[in-house]
Amino acid sequence: MNVLEFLTPHLHLIKVRFMSHQTVLTAAHVVKRIMENPTKATNYVISGRNGATLPYGKFKIKQVHIPQRYLDKVDLDHDIAVLTLEENNGHSIGDVVKQNPMVLTNTVSIGNTISSMGYPGDKPFGTMWESKGKIIRQSTNRIDHDIDTVGGQSGSPIFNENHEIIAVHVSGGKYNNSSVKLNTEHIEFVLKYISDTSN
């Protein structure tokens, strides 16, 4: 059985980032393969996992939303996704976990300190870790940084010094790592699905 778990801190996009009462934010490449059948019994989000302990339970995935630009052609510039979740025992994920604000991020300052929280593949399974680093460079859609990350952290939030989400971690390399900015285009995409679930 292939279980797709999305591990999230106190629902920081650790694999998935929390955004509203019924939605979480992650990287498109993490969830693209389940887009055709998101409600499969083995697809769910786990927030705040600590080894075998699941303090908030599991939330089934209801829908996967990925920008059409990414679906048309896989492109790290638009590697972002929103998941709509079902309730668990009468509670939405936003009822039981802390939410961090997103902030419109069209530009950043090189050298600023940023941080990320995630579940790195080289640590004990299901344990969350925080790393800090600095912004190295930026483009219209991405932020390159030197936060120490490894496989398993895609979809993790990138926080500014105020602990606001400014980007989503999507890739790592030998000299730097990359994240997708929550710029005007991406914020508008995300907000569409937050408003769709808040009615």
Whether 40 and 91 share a structural domain: yes
Strands (E), the chain: 4-8, 17-18, 23-26, 43-47, 58-65, 81-85, 113-118, 129-138, 142-145, 157-159, 165-172, 177-181
pLDDT at 46: 82
pLDDT at 73: 94
| CA–CA gap between residue 136 and residue 11 (Å, rounded) | 26
Whether 74 and 131 share a structural domain: no
Whether 88 and 24 share a structural domain: yes
Whether 83 and 138 share a structural domain: no
Whether 14 and 29 share a structural domain: yes
pLDDT at 196: 56
Assigned domain for 24 exists: yes
Whether 82 and 139 share a structural domain: no
Average pLDDT, the chain: 83
3-state helix vs strand vs coil in the chain, percent to 5? 20, 35, 45
pLDDT at 20: 58
Assigned domain for 37 exists: yes
What is the DSSP secondary structure assignment for residue 41, as one 8-state letter? Answer: T
* Residue span of the structural domain in which 175 resides: 113-184
Q: Is 2 helix (H, G, I), strand (E, B) or coil?
A: coil
Assigned domain for 105 exists: no
How many domains are contained in the chain? 2
Nearest to 119 by CA among 52, 49, 28, 44: 49
pLDDT at 114: 97
pLDDT tens, 155-181?
889 999 999 999 999 988 777 899 999
Res. 7: pLDDT tops 80: no
Residues with catalytic roles: 29, 79, 154
Assigned domain for 106 exists: no
How far is C-alpha 79 from the geometric centre of its chain's CA atoms? 10
Instruction: Give, in order, the Cα–Cα distances in Å from 3 to each of 12, 83, 190.
Output: 20, 17, 26
Res. 12: pLDDT tops 70: no
pLDDT at 57: 85
Whether 85 and 128 share a structural domain: no
Res. 87: pLDDT tops 50: yes
Whether 40 and 73 share a structural domain: yes
pLDDT at 97: 80
Res. 31: pLDDT tops 50: yes
Instruction: Identify the CATH number of the domain in which residue 161 sits.
Output: 2.40.10.10
